[in-house]
Amino acid sequence: METEFPAIALLPIFFGPEQILIALALLIPALVIFNLLLASEEAFESIGLRFYQAILVTAGALPASLVDIPLISLGGATIAVNAGGAVIPLFVTAEMVGRGRVSCRKTLVAIAAVSLVAYAFATPVPGTGITMPFYIAPLAGAAAGLLLARGCRTAPGLAYAGGTMGTLLGADILNLADPAVLAALAGGRATVLSIGGAGIFDGIFITGVLSVLLAVYAGGRLREKAGVCPQEENR
């Protein structure tokens, strides 16, 4: 007795140009976000955060970037602080300094150095915000971390603190403190000017991740060539 089983035919599905474009428009951003989150998690772990802390900070950056905390009103504009672009970097920096992972003195020097660079390259654009070439702050943060740590293992932490806090201070706060810049950005209408910006791809988030990755890579190469890294003083 023969038993017949229903046949299942696997037929190729052909997509039209419009469907392919829609699929790519959804897939590419998803892959970019996924890889960015992986890189940022590794970056946060390299500056001393535990795995679960790195996950919380990385995953928290996405919803937190949608939250602006109002501070004061000036000239019809509301000055706010972005939770993802300002509060989280401040929390991470304070955690590193508080636990002694980086020197407080060197952290302040790194922040001051990067803030000067950020202020020099930042450009207030009415209707857009404060813009700056994306590579300036990461390079400045990594350079400050490597120089202050002499290529040692505290370089990534100093790079993160200098890159993020220096950008916030030099690009955002110092510019918003100028009444002429504030008036130009507000454009005479009620608006919210957010310190730290908004969005997972905001310059502060990118700066923190790239600064750390650059410092990790460059610091590792320096240690390979120079031999054993000397223990830092006043760490």
pLDDT in tens, 110-123: 999 999 999 999 99
What's the distance, CA 212 to chain centroid?
10
Who's near 70: CB < 8 A, 6+ residues apart? 78, 79, 80, 192
Can you read off the two tokens belonging to residue 204?
A: 């502060």
The confidence score (pLDDT) of residue 41 equals: 76
Q: Whole-angstrom Cα distance, residue 91 to residue 137?
A: 19
Q: Taking the model in full, what pTM does it have?
A: 0.80
Give residue-wise pLDDT tens across range 187-232: 777 788 889 875 444 678 888 888 998 888 887 777 666 655 655 4
Give residue-wise pLDDT tens across range 22-33: 766 667 766 766
Mean pLDDT of the chain: 81
* Cβ atoms of residues 5 and 170 within 8 Å: no
Give residue-wise pLDDT tens across range 161-188: 999 999 999 999 999 999 888 888 887 7
Of the candidates 34, 80, 32, the residue with the CA atom closest to the CA atom of residue 59: 34
β-strand pairing of 191-195 with 77-82: parallel
> Which pLDDT band, with edges at 50, 70 and 90, does 136 fall under?
very high
Q: Whole-angstrom Cα distance, residue 175 to residue 121?
A: 11
Can you read off the two tokens belonging to residue 84?
A: 């993802």
DSSP readout, 46-62?
HTT--HHHHHHHHHHHH
The confidence score (pLDDT) of residue 66 equals: 83
